[in-house]
Chains A and B, each alone.
Chain A
Amino acid sequence: MTSELVDYALVSVALLGIGIYGLAVKRNFIRMLFAVEIIINAANLNLVAFARFLPDSSGQTLALFSIAIAAAEVAVGLSLIIVAYRMYQNVDIADFRSLKG
């Protein structure tokens, strides 16, 4: 293993930047979910990288928990997309502004 911890940290910073760009610019609900997934993966990469370089198993354990919670979040997010699409026939979040019942 020749790559250093800082290399992994920089890759994760790049992924975080791309995710922030997606959240700021995109108005498509599904694309915003992609951006959230990319940010969560950047965090997981950091967790596992730090766990490898300070040899300690708790970082990997936390990454496993994080992956499982992300799965739950995606399930709820996708069902929200389906409900919103059924109500507005669109996936543009600019159309979702009315909270009227």
Chain B
Amino acid sequence: MADAVFLGLTVITIGSAIAALELRSLIYGSIALMGTLGGIAGFFLLLDAPFVALFQIAVYVGSIAVLILFTVMLVKRELIFKKIEDRRRKFAGIGLMLVTMMSLGAIFLESGIKDITTDEPAVDFRDIGADFVTYYWPALIAMALILAGSVTGALVLARREDVENDQRAS
């Protein structure tokens, strides 16, 4: 049963990752990216990490994918449906992908990872919360500052200075 779920999630995740990059329309591409991110959240559920899975759904599927979708909608219509890629680099890219997959896959299959199994119970998500407020609290504060700084930076970057407040940005 778990294997069937794993196989299904693998097909969804990898298939929609390819679709996100290869579909002609950027809108369908970003919806396919949502499929990839949701599939990864499913893997997290299979790995007994429900807290990370919900975080993934809230942050990635809920906000990042929607943000990307809105940015795509701000772009001109003909650019959304135009495929911009280097044809000469296409085969080189596929070759690079295959070399990466085969070399890293061979390393993983040859290493001792294959024999690692576990019968121990999964990590309790309450431990993660305890980690956050004890050992990792400086990192948590730094992360909050980075997030606030990046959102402020994004707002400053995207602001238009040539438009008066009472004018519509058209």
Contact = CB atoms under 8 A, between A and B. Distances in A.
B141 interface: no
Contacts of B93: 20-21, 24-25
A28 B64 CA distance: 18
A9 B158 contact: no
B123 A55 contact: yes
Contacts of B37: 37, 41
Nearest to B9: A11
Interface in A1-41: 1-11, 13-22, 24-28, 30-31, 33-35, 37-38, 41
A25 B67 contact: no
A45 B96 contact: no
B114 A4 contact: yes
Contacts of A38: 17, 20-21, 33, 36
- Size bracket, chain A contacts: 35 or more
Contact of B52 (A14, A60, A72, A78): A60
Contacts of A15: 13-14, 17, 36
A49 B74 CA distance: 37
Contacts of A34: 20-21, 29-30, 33, 68
Interface in A47-101: 48-49, 51-58, 60-61, 63-65, 67-76, 78-83, 85-86, 89-92
A5 B113 contact: yes
24 contacts: A1-B48, A2-B3, A9-B108, A11-B10, A13-B100, A13-B101, A16-B100, A18-B18, A18-B21, A20-B93, A25-B93, A34-B21, A37-B33, A44-B56, A45-B40, A64-B52, A67-B55, A68-B59, A72-B146, A72-B149, A80-B157, A82-B74, A90-B79, A91-B79
Interface of A: 1-11, 13-22, 24-28, 30-31, 33-35, 37-38, 41, 44-45, 48-49, 51-58, 60-61, 63-65, 67-76, 78-83, 85-86, 89-92
